[in-house]
Amino acid sequence: MRTTARRAGEVVKKAARKAGLQVSSPEPGPAEPVAGRTPDPKAERRRRLLASNLTELAIEFRTDKWGVHRYTPHYERHLQHLRGESFTLLELGIGGYKKRRRSGASMKMWRWFFPKARIVGLDIEDKTWLTKGHIHAYLGDQTDPEVLHRIIEEQGAPLVVIDDGSHIPAHVRESFRILFPLLPDGAIYCIEDIQTSYWPAWGGQLDPRAPGTSMDLVKDLVDGLNHEEFLVEGYEPTYTDQWVRSVHCYHNLVIIEKGDNREGTNRDAVAHELYGASEIPADDSSEG
């Protein structure tokens, strides 16, 4: 029946061409289902996962980035623009220690959200059996410069880093110190579960203003955004002063964007207007 209809259509088109009429082919529609053939469950699942948002993927793979925490909407806001790009994502901490089959839940989530990306995980427990296709798992400590440099040498400098490792402030700070200068312009560095800054059992401090915590690092980065406005005589900008472009703070999550933060300032003109010919006042914060 379909063959007869197709032939009839061809006859009509031929006659129209002979008469000098322009014939346009209709836009191809969806393929007709073949009688007796059942849909491929794997293909259907693939289509569904590729169309899912990050929260839906977190639920699918049972990662605590949604549920226990509310991280996925923030991640989607800051990472959506990379969804179709090829790049390296590095996650510190793979998780799933109690149940082997639950290991790498967030890596699987990232793999479907970024289908063209290389998803790399680092953990102090051996999860290298997860390595397959776009997923690469490494064994090592998140503060070990050797393993971090080896990952970058083998997988490329990550455009996205997720620190979901030990959550111990000293480890968080050291990983950031090692990795951040190695990242390309436009990279995004994320620190999860930063609430441990306030928990002494995790290496944090009861005093929210205590030095040496993860949040103390973040507060320094926020000040550094405005380093060109400091009236501190002889102040030398740090690397992060110059290369942290933005800091976004959410409940238990911080997202840091790398970029050139040397925009210039009208500080000297304003200072001259305020103080006239006198020098910019020196830092007197050490005085009692």
Catalytic residues: 167
Residue with tokens 């909407």: 73
Main-chain phi, psi angles of 161, to 5 degrees = -120, 130
Which two structure tokens, joined as six digits, stand for 109? 């989530």
Which residues, in sequence order, are bridge partners of residue 66?
Answer: 70
Residue with tokens 């914060």: 285
Helix (H) or strand (E) holding 245: strand 244-250
Task: Write the CA distances from 125 to 74, 96, 122, 168, integer angstroms.
Answer: 28, 10, 9, 17
User: How far is residue 108's CA from residue 94's CA, in Å, rounded to a whole number?
Assistant: 10
Helix (H) or strand (E) holding 74: helix 72-79
User: How far is residue 234's CA from residue 230's CA, in Å, rounded to a whole number?
Assistant: 10
User: How far is residue 276's CA from residue 254's CA, in Å, rounded to a whole number?
Assistant: 41
CA 45 centroid distance within chain? 24
